[in-house]
């Protein structure tokens, strides 16, 4: 409606609704959050997003891995410099000072374009989201956007290659038949839950909340990724 236009108008001066998404190299969209007014910036969208809710509430899969000899237990996303220095976000280095930092920044910026490709493919496939919306209801717009994302993921899953694995759950006698990778279930962290509420304690919740927003972990993670990538390049 006309009365709402300026509340949804950002840099483009046109009323828009923001889509936040996480996409992988094959443009599969793993996370989508739609409905924030276009006048909001990336920081405020992230603050309202449920992206890290499961991680904070200890409902996400448990991760344990090492980079450059240091152990980490949270996954991370590639983001641009406008996002905060959190343990779950890795930015490029604005002014790389040596060859290792230049190599890392080159790869980080290249892989970060995957989400831009996903946005472009979405708009190319579905005309309804590439043109100005004619609906007034945000609920209807949300249903349209999520339907297009689900259909996009179905197309990606149908067309991508990577389903061949060592063992096959299909007909073993036909070597030409590939299989889809079986889903694997990972247990979450072994933390005490309140049997009445089914949630972790408020102290544990706040500990994990602060852990996600740790600037120190973000710094160490970026340094370890730089060193790991450079070491891998040197071995080649």
- Dihedrals φ, ψ of 114, to 5°? -60, -40
CB 211 within 8 A of CB 87: yes
Tell me, what's the pLDDT at 134?
78
CB 226 within 8 A of CB 104: yes
Query: Looking at per-residue confidence, does 159 or 72 come out higher?
Result: 72
CA dihedral 85, 67, 92, 216 (to 10 degrees): 20
Alpha carbon 48 to chain centroid, angstroms: 15
CA distance 227 to 221: 10
| Rounded percentage of the chain residues whose pLDDT exceeds 90 | 49
- Mean pLDDT estimate for the chain: 84
At 58, is the pLDDT very low, low, confident or very high (cuts 50, 70, 90)? confident
Tell me, what's the pLDDT at 21?
93
Cα 192 to Cα 43, 53, 58, 146, 210: the distances in Å are 32, 18, 10, 35, 18
Task: Output DSSP code: residue 181.
Answer: P
Q: Which residues contact 186 (CB under 8 A, 6 or more apart)?
A: 61, 62
At 184, is the pLDDT very low, low, confident or very high (cuts 50, 70, 90)? low
Average pLDDT over residues 118-133: 90
CB 179 within 8 A of CB 164: yes
At 175, is the pLDDT very low, low, confident or very high (cuts 50, 70, 90)? very low
Q: Which residues contact 200 (CB under 8 A, 6 or more apart)?
A: 57, 58, 191, 192, 193, 194, 208
Say yes or no to pLDDT of 128 above 70.
Answer: yes
Tell me, what's the pLDDT at 28?
92
Query: Looking at per-residue confidence, does 174 or 229 come out higher?
Result: 229
- pLDDT one-digit tens code per residue, 12-50: 778 888 899 999 989 999 999 998 887 888 888 898 999
- pLDDT one-digit tens code per residue, 63-104: 889 999 999 999 999 999 899 999 999 999 999 999 999 999
């Amino acid at each position: 409606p006309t009365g709402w236009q300026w509340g949804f108008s950002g840099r483009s001066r046109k009323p828009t609704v923001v889509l936040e998404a996480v996409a992988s190299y094959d443009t599969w969209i793993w996370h989508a959050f739609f409905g924030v007014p276009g006048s909001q910036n990336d920081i405020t969208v992230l603050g309202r997003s449920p992206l890290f809710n499961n991680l904070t509430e200890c409902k996400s899969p448990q991760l344990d891995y090492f980079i450059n000899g240091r152990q980490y237990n949270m996954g991370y996303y590639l983001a641009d410099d406008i996002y905060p220095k959190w343990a779950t976000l890795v930015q490029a280095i604005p002014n790389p000072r040596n060859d290792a930092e230049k190599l890392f920044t080159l790869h980080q910026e290249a892989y970060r374009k995957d989400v831009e490709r996903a946005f472009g493919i979405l708009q190319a496939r579905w005309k309804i989201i590439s043109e100005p919306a004619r609906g007034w209801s945000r609920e209807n717009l949300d249903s349209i956007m999520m339907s297009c994302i689900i259909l996009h993921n179905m197309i990606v899953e149908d067309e991508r290659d990577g389903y061949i694995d060592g063992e096959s759950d299909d007909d073993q006698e036909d070597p030409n038949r590939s299989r889809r990778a079986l889903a694997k279930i990972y247990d979450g962290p072994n933390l005490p839950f309140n049997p009445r509420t089914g949630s972790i304690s408020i102290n544990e919740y706040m500990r994990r909340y602060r852990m996600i927003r740790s600037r120190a972990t973000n710094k160490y993670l970026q340094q370890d990724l730089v060193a790991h990538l450079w070491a891998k390049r040197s071995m080649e």
